[in-house]
Structure 1
Amino acid sequence: MPEAKLAPDKITYSAAISACEKGGQWQQALNVLSLMPEARVESDRITYNAAISACEKGSQWQLALNLLRLMHEARVVPNHITYNAAISACEKCGQWQQALNLISLMPEVRVVPNEITFSATISACEKGGQWQLALNLLSLMPKARVVPNEITYNAAISACEKVGQWQRALSLLGSMPEARASPDEISFSASISACGPGGQWQSALDVLRKMLEQQVMPDEVSYNALISVCERSQQLERGLQLLWESKGRGVSLSVAFFPGALARLSVHDPDIISAAFDEVMLKLSASPLTPQELSSIAWSSGMLGVNNSTLLQALVIQAVPQLELFTLRDLLKLAWGFAASGVDVGLLMAIQTEVITRLEQVDLHHFSELFRNAFLQETLGLLWASNFAGCCSNKLLASARLVIRQAGAIMDIAHGPSSLPAYESFGELPCTEADLWQPDGKPQIILDLPDRLVIFKPPGWEVHSQHTDLQLSSFLQAALGKRFAITRDEEHQCGFLHRLDLPSSGLVLAAKTYEAYYDLKVQLNAGEIARDYVILCHGWVRPCLKDIKAKVYWRGLLPTIAGDQGKPSWTRLKVTAHAWHRSTALSLVAVRIATGRRHQIRSHFSHVGHPTVCDGKYTADATFQSDQDLCARNFLHRYRLAFKDLAGKDHEVMMPVPADLMISLQRVTARDIQSAETIRDWVTGSSLRSWQDYTPLILDFGRKQADTQ
């Protein structure tokens, strides 16, 4: 325009900023706004509103609030459009406190909130998990002479849904007609989802019936919610019926819906799975898919054990050019799927490059707690997938470690300095012989460092779940007092890095600070923590069996199932001794886990036909009863942990088998000289060492090659 000797005015700049806003170019919008003073054109409410809206669409809540502040300084009067855009910017980033602050300031500047204002603020509370505040805002609307509409109710129902407040969600749904708000598919779908955490599948089906009675047609989101409720309630057959119903009703379904539902419902029928992925291949070859669809298909193929190289290659071709458009969650699902079903090193390295770029740009100080925690879990998941696939780059590990540690430090500051005297750590606390033979089996702190520690968990104690009276978390709280906030933070597992099954014994790693917790989380997901076990199992395990890589899945309190579907899992083993007790053949096996799934060792050894001794979940009842003549509880003991402290120094802790397992070993008869020596070593506890330093039995049953199952 200057070349044409036409001076741009307010209308020109406002139009340009609005164009940038509509195109999602918030940086360009702010750049245009910054040029106005130089051109001696004053910004007005229209230009500011357009710029704030651009920031809202780009999820730049800090910049949106800064523009609102600049408006006041420039004496430009904001209106409800201004505040609605600023509140929406906060809502997108889960900044519910900022959104509430803005709506509370509106009366002071004589701006009247409308239904959009309330809806956006309620949505902000929903994203922050603040369902009580969301309902309070809804109740305030009549006093403000604002009539709630479907969008307002949907936001309030979603707030209840996020925290499993299913009764309140259903109550809101039922009250909508009285408020002259017509429930739509979003209202019904959110109400159905609310029934999931509580396992209220009957209530979810009641909502579906009401939906159909009111002639509101369920969509993909509705059926997705219904199937999720059935999955969580272990009503898998009903979930499958709903899946077929969605097809029969002619619901418009995305290409990823059917495979995703099959994976969540653990469908095993190869014909159904094959047909679903044949349809996926047709869609992949015919049209481009969204990042969400691509990542969901990859995840589903990994869960269902679909190792189709043509499918995976088609996913790679579409995914790589648009990785920057994937959310971090979708990048995780994509990486996880390929790590589980077929490693493509090129794709995983491209994903890591994209994640590193985001890690270098992120500022967690400006994240809400909910968004920050999601970011951390997704980053840790990406570390795990990369490590499991065997191609985790040093740069990704370094970038993730830096950011995740910083997040932990931020949390430590937020919880405030302790008012109690500084805690004095005691370093390594050796276990005495009396401790080991203690009949009541109390927990003990074995290694005490300034910000982390190792505890011995006796059998019968639970790490943290409140299913039994004997809680390791209670022991830790009593031992450390109130000095460390994380020990009472259930969202962070009370500081524990991992669990150990109730009947098992062994070493457990815990953190005293959030920074230590997340530092150890990085080590755990990057494969830097060694967890070594000793087990006694049924049968003479072939010494050539080195690895068990069966996938696992579980439902509620039911046993974990190992096979070709579920989450990828890896157990490494060395058969160190063969023995027998009466007429029962037994093997003493040293184990290292590369993944830490629920009941992984027990389910894996049962899967290969060698269940652990005295395991009521994974053996027949007759076997379990017979085993009790040898051992009163499951013979599984985590004897060694190796990890690093915050400075990178290596630490190793080892713990001999407790007295009850020593007695059991003394009752068995070794099959050969090597086995006798190994069993003697475990009984005396005199030569404990790393799993990798144990020598497997020489016997190979005629097999020379290492075996994996």
Structure 2
Amino acid sequence: MAWNGSTGSSWTGSWWSHSGTQWDAKEEWDAKEEYHTDVASTDVASSSTLGHQPGRSSDGACLDGDASRPRGVPVVGASSKCLRRGGSSRQMSDRVRRQLGQCEADQILKVAGRCAGHVDVSGAVAALQTLARDTSFKTNGKDRRIEGILQILRKPLLSGHGFADIRQFTSVAWALARLHVSDGPLLDGLEQEAMARSPEFSCQELSSISWAFTRLDIASPAVIEKLFKQAAAKLSELSPSQLASLSCLAARAQDAGENLMEMIAANSKPLLPEFTPRDLSSLAWAVASLRASSEEQLMEQLADEAIAKVKDASSMDFANMAWALAEMSMEPDHYTVAVQAEVKKKMRELSSQDLSHWLWAFAKVGIQGDELLEALCSDAIGKASTLTAPDLCSLLWSISKQPASVDGVLVDALAQRTAAIASQFSGQQLAQAMSAFSRLQKVDAPLLEAVSAAVRANLRDFTPADVAGLAWSLAQTGGEDRPLMQAVCSEAKRRLNAFSLHELTGMASACATASHLDRGLMQSIAAELVHGSSIAQLSPQDVSKVTWACSKLMYMDERLTAVLSEACVTHIAEFQPAHLANILWSCAKITNKSEQLIDALCGTSMGLIEDFNGQNLANTVWAIATLNFTVTEKMEAFITQTIKKIKEFGPQGLANTSWAFAKMEQKFDELMDAIAEEAKAKANEFEPQNLSNTAWAFATLRIESQDLMMTISEKVIAKVNKCSCRDIASTSWAFARIHMPNPELVTAMSGVALQRVSEFEAKGLSNTAWALATLGTKDCVLMNTLASAVMRKINECWSSGTTKLEDLATDLNGLTWAMEHAGFLTDDLSKTILNLMRSLGRAKDIEMSRPNRPPPAKIETVAPEDHPGDVPILREDLPDMCCIHKPAGWEVDNQDAGGGPWMSGWLMEQFKINDVPIVHYEEHQFGMVQRLDIPSSGLILVGKTWEGFYTLKWQLQTGKLTREYVLLVHNWVALDGRVNERSFAEKATEGDVAPAQIRVVAHLRREDEEDVQLSLVVMSVQKNRRGDLRTHFVGAGHPTVADGKYSEREAYLRDREWCSRKFMHCYRLQWQDSKDVVRDCLEPLPHDLRESLAKLKPRGEESAAAVREWLDGKKPRPWQSYANLQGLDCDG
């Protein structure tokens, strides 16, 4: 199966295969039908060469039921009364037997149906043989009208009495195989009969039984052992054709047949010149089916012998040999040349069946002869109107597999012919045809109408395999005919208990592929799988299919999930890369976070990582990221394989892989460079979603790949009208995140956003507004339209209860920042937003006061005693908010992972969950409103209620929350105010205002290094982008003292000689509480910073006076009360 992450995915099994073997393997048994017709005829005919025995006619039909009946076997259906006019039952039976011996196939069904009670076993065998020889009846072999004949044959097989004549037994086996009969009890009886009579088998009978059992897929260990034991004893007596038949049964037995295959191969090599082309292709098929790599020499000899006998070979012989060579990964050029030469010679003589065989061989071996393919297709066009259903299906499959494009005229002709004779198709053939047309992208209304009519007329006669196959084929067409798909699903549900495990999982997969959720059917399938005793027999492919189907349809069933998870863990060693990747993808879609299952899947995947193709790699990493699992310690092998196979990745694989690493916050430069290069090369193939996801991933990781982002912008502009609202929001956010203005892109996205504003979700609208504001839009109409839409969507979502309250508050918070940053936040809009924020907060407070509130996540806090030093101090405690002094070394944001104790842990100890629940929830930042870096100290605000928290958030975004800092920076800051006139922050553009206003209160020097100049400044911040403050000072030439992140390493180390930490302290906060009362809090300079400041030498008396004020430990003054240096000590 294959998943588009998003994908997912499609399942490509072939439902019209016999017993699970894919039809595209082109089984050798199709090729051998004519040959084994002769074998069976010989067996049956041999009874007449013995002379007329009493009571038996030359055609093998019993004339006298009693005389010919073996002991203990009654005449089936004998009646004491005649059906008509009082004649004796024996006379009636004699008349029926004679009719059966003389009837054509279409008449047999009528005779057998009306007079089944007067037919004994011999008559039933004769009738069955006649039907099996009739090619027009062959495809209807599973027709329920032969039930009467099968009922007669069940009596000797199921009673244990068996057949009187062993030749009768082999004839029945041959006929059942020719008709593809899938009657379980009957085949079980056949198996038991074979085990009992195997010592009696001659070489010819052993060959015929081997052929029949292979076709019927009878391969139980007991019967295989008996047959193989008998075969080994007679191996030297077997003819080439008999060796070929036996090899195919050995191939069907797989592991159990390997030893016998070695003996067959050894005995066959000296006899190869005597093999017919049919025998050669049969033996080649068997060797390839077993993947017997040790027999490559034999395969080469078979191919050479086939070339030598090319004039006698049929097209099917070539096709089967081509399949075998392809399966063995052998490409002998001389065989390919011979194939093409033979086709050219026989072009005018080819039948429609020959055409399909040749085209199939071309597809399998990969022959790229355009001229020859064109000639074959041209010939097929002329024969299209005369094709029968079987030939039509074979030809359709063959041309749908061609590596080169096929003439549209031929496809149209085949579609017309299919529509014309659709009523003659079996269920299997309809499935075949629709699947081929899907690959050929030819599913038009007349074709669908004809197929739909044929299906509806005969659906009750379809086998479970036909129903499942048809469902899959309809799914491949895109599920356009929903009523027909529903009818097929209803039929499947009606007799689901007759479906095999493979058919059950196939139905689920078909529904998922067609995005057709029939909940009743899925419940029935789940029940069959959960309560069935054979759940352990699910193959890896079946587990993969049904897991994928449940996830694709978002069908949740805890019992089924548990059973599938157990099956995965139990059989994990048997899984192939595709199965592992698909199941991981499915777990991610339905959020199945079973640690045992995920660990098993990830561990096994890493062991097989070299065998993963591009899609498997992309699906796996996407799933790991979606499930929030990390396998960092094993990522090296994964990354190596991804880079190695990057050319295999399609647009979705590239986008999903980059998205996954961004989601896991794992930045690997070599990998991302490889993805960027491949994405640029394949940009024309990217859909808008692939473009937006890739841009989002690179922006999230802050990778500024100019070439890639420019390529993405060009493609987005070209496809902007095809972009979804989410694509617009993600793309605009990505370019804003890395500060990459693109006026043309902004204009294109703005136009689409304005036209489709009603289609956006609240989050998308908020993110788009934020991004456009960041990218510098000045479109008043657009921004106000977005603002109105956000407000409307938030109210709608709140009323309907479809979105979490905190998510709505986040969207509103983003809108506030965007409108203020763009300069369009009016007083009325600001007040409206604040009222809505407070209302959301009050609603959240009510929600979280209830006893059934969700429990907070467990957080492993770092104990304060592990980090001796100052502890936080509660400076102002209000009912809905508080102000706290954070000492240096404490972490505000748990994601910083800097090793210090967490403020969240202190808050949870300070306030109990029933009193102040918000500080116990990480998803609400524990109530903390603003960040303060670990090395910094100062005041922070904490919301104690959600109403208080959202009120403070609104003030932070609108500049109503004033923060004032004292900093020590390098070099003497000029007193001309230039640093306050514009922004020097990283990525600042011309016209950007300074993120803060400063006043220089002192110029200083190092006592021991007077050339080191420093400035003590106070700073007022009302609104800024995170990170702008420090980069602003760095850009202006004044990095903060002891700032390990933004200072040069040598300067940082020199600073640390006399200053223990970054010299930055938030000394004052001013805000409004929930009653709009202005609050003010001040915090003196901590003792460690006072000690550092005391080591410095003021430049003059003006500076010295300012320094003394900070060193005395008293509460500082508000920023506006500090005067800038007047320059009185410039020369001091």
Q: Scaled by the length of structure 1, what TM-score is found?
A: 0.65
Residue 471 of structure 1 aligns with an amino acid whose one-letter code is W
SS in 1 for 2:980: strand
Question: Any idea what the Cα deviations from partners look like across 1:178-202, whole Å, max 9, x if unmatched?
Answer: xxxxx98995574253487636496
| 1:487–1:494 CA contact under 8 A, matched in 2 | yes
Once the 2 structures are TM-superposed, how far is the Cα of residue 570 of structure 1 from its aligned partner? 3.1
Match of 1:626 in 2: 1054
Q: Say whether residues 1:442 and 2:871 are aligned partners.
A: yes
User: Match for residue 1092 of structure 2?
Assistant: 664
2:765 to 331, 336, 343: 331
Question: How far has the Cα of 1:509 moved from its partner?
Answer: 1.0
Instruction: Give the CA deviation at 1:352.
Output: 0.7
**What do you get for the CA RMSD once the two structures are aligned?**
4.8
Aligned equivalents of 1:632 and 1:498: distance in 2? 24
Cα distance in 2 for partners of 1:135, 1:172 equals 24
Q: Is 1:314 matched with 2:748?
A: yes
Match of 2:969 among 537, 541, 563: 537
Residue 903 of structure 2 aligns with which residue? 472
- Contact 2:659 / 2:696 at 8 angstroms: preserved in 1? no
Output one character per residue of 1:571-602: Cα deviation in whole Å (capped at 9) or x when no partner.
44333332222321111122233456665534
Match status 1:359 vs 2:794: yes
Is the alpha carbon distance of 1:212 and 1:533 closer, same or farther for their aligned partners in structure 2, counting shifts above 3 Å? closer
Deviation at 1:211, TM superposition (A): 13
Task: Determine the C-alpha separation between the residues in 1 that align with 2:708 and 2:644.
Answer: 28
CA contact (8 A) 1:477 1:488 kept: yes
CA distance in 2, matches of 1:308, 1:527: 28
> Whole-Å Cα distance in 2 between the matches of residues 141 and 163 of structure 1?
12
Task: Tell which deviates more after alignment, 202-211 or 377-386.
Answer: 202-211
Aligned position for 2:672: 239
Matched AA of 1:623: A
Cα drift, residue 366 of structure 1: 1.9
In 2, Cα distance between the equivalents of 1:405 and 1:168? 47
Which digits, 9 at most, give the CA deviation of each residue in 1:428-462, with x for residues without a partner?
Answer: xxxxxxxxxxx942321110111211111111222
Deviations 1:470-526 (A, max 9, x none): 332233233334432222222222222223222211111112223322222222233
Shift of 1:652: 1.0
Equivalent-residue separation in structure 1 for 2:822 and 2:814 (angstroms): 12
Specify which of 611, 616, 620 is matched with residue 1039 of structure 2: 611
Which digits, 9 at most, give the CA deviation of each residue in 1:545-594, with x for residues without a partner?
A: 01664666xxxxxxxxx7779x9993443333322223211111222334
Amino acid at match of 1:682: W
Residue 237 of structure 1 and its aligned partner are, at CA, apart by 3.1
CA contact (8 A) 2:882 2:941 kept: yes
Report SS of the residue matched to 1:351.
helix
- Give 2:998's aligned residue: 573
Please tell me whether residue 222 in structure 1 is matched to residue 650 in structure 2. Answer: no
Q: Aligned in 2, Cα 1:243/1:350: closer, same or farther, shift over 3 Å?
A: same
**Does the 8 Å contact 2:936/2:1063 carry over to 1?**
yes
Structure 2 vs 1, CA of residues 669 and 275 (structure 1 numbering), >3 Å: closer, same or farther?
same
- Kindly state the Cα deviation for residue 153 of structure 1 after the two structures are TM-superposed: 7.5
- Cα drift, residue 309 of structure 1: 3.3
Q: Judge conservation of contact 1:184–1:216 (CA < 8 Å) in 2.
A: no
Superposed, 1:49-448 pairs within 5 Å as 119=550, 123=554, 138-139=561-562, 154-160=585-591, 167=599, 170=602, 188=620, 190-191=622-623, 193-194=625-626, 198=630, 200=632, 203=635, 206=638, 218-231=649-662, 232-248=665-681, 252-254=685-687, 256-257=691-692, 259-260=695-696, 262-268=698-704, 270=706, 273-283=709-719, 289-346=723-780, 347-363=782-798, 366-367=801-802, 371-416=804-849, 440-448=869-877
Structure 2 CA distance for partners of 1:139 and 1:208, relative to 1, 3 Å: farther
Equivalent position SS for 2:874: strand
1:461 corresponds to which of 873, 890, 900:
890
Greater Cα radius of gyration, structure 1 or 2 = 2
Task: Report the equivalent of 2:1116.
Answer: 688
- Secondary structure of 1:610's counterpart equals coil
Q: Higher RCO, 1 or 2 (CA under 8 Å, sep at least 6)?
A: 1
Instruction: Output one character per residue of 1:351-394: Cα deviation in whole Å (capped at 9) or x when no partner.
Output: 112112223433267236xx443333222222222222232234
**Shift of residue 265, structure 1, vs aligned partner:** 5.0
- What CA distance in whole angstroms lies between the structure 2 residues aligned with 1:589 and 1:163? 55
Give, in angstroms, the shift of residue 248 of structure 1: 3.9
Distance 1:471 1:645, change over 3 A: same
More helix by share: 2
Aligned: 1:588 with 2:1016: yes
* Sequence identity percentage: 24
Q: Is the 8 A contact 2:548 2:586 kept in 1?
A: no
Confirm whether residue 645 of structure 1 aligns to residue 1073 of structure 2: yes
Q: Deviations over 1:608-642 (max 9, x none)?
A: 33221122333234323332344222110000111
Indicate if the aligned counterparts of 1:578 and 1:588 stay in contact, CA closer than 8 A. yes
Measure the CA separation in 2 of the matches of 1:674 and 1:477.
Answer: 46
Distance verdict in 2 for CA 1:693–1:120, change over 3 Å? farther
- Give the unaligned 5+ runs of structure 1: 1-87, 89-98, 108-114, 126-133, 175-182, 420-438, 553-561, 703-709
Seen in structure 2, the aligned counterparts of structure 1 residues 259 and 698 have a Cα distance that, compared at 3 Å, is farther
Give the 5 Å matches for 1:20-59: none
> What is the aligned counterpart of 1:452 among 881, 885, 894?
881
Structure 1 residues 495 and 266, CA gap change in structure 2 (3 angstroms): closer
Task: Classify the secondary structure of the residue corresponding to 1:362.
Answer: helix
**Larger strand proportion, structure 1 or 2?**
1
CA distance in structure 2 between the aligned counterparts of 1:569 and 1:124, rounded to whole angstroms: 54
The 1-side partners of 2:872 and 2:931 are apart by 14
Give 1:298 deviation, angstroms: 2.4
Counterparts of 1:124 and 1:396 in 2: how far apart (Å)?
Answer: 43
- Give the secondary structure class of the aligned counterpart of 1:363: helix
Change (3 A) 1:668 1:152: closer
Contact 2:963 2:1069 in 1 (8 A): yes
Q: Is the 8 A contact 1:236 1:265 kept in 2?
A: no
Q: TM-score, normalised by structure 2?
A: 0.42
What residue is the counterpart of 1:505 in the other structure?
937
Cα distance change, pair 467–447 in 1 and its aligned pair in 2 (3 A): same
Counterpart CA distance in 1 for 2:1101 and 2:757 is 58
- The answer to whether the 8 Å contact 1:529/1:642 transfers is yes
Q: Is 1:518 aligned to 2:941, yes or no? A: no
Q: 2:876·2:882 contact (CA, 8 Å) conserved in 1?
A: yes
Please identify, of 348-357 and 160-169, the stretch whose mean Cα deviation from structure 2 is larger: 160-169
Q: CA contact under 8 A between 2:966 and 2:1018: conserved in structure 1?
A: yes
* Offset at residue 350 of structure 1 (A): 1.7
Write out per-residue CA displacement over residues 202-257 of structure 1, whole angstroms, 9 at most, x where no aligned residue.
659749969999x9975444322211344421213311211322444577313544
Q: Are the counterparts in 2 of residues 572 and 592 from structure 1 also a CA contact under 8 Å?
A: yes
Q: Is the 8 A contact 1:166 1:195 kept in 2?
A: no
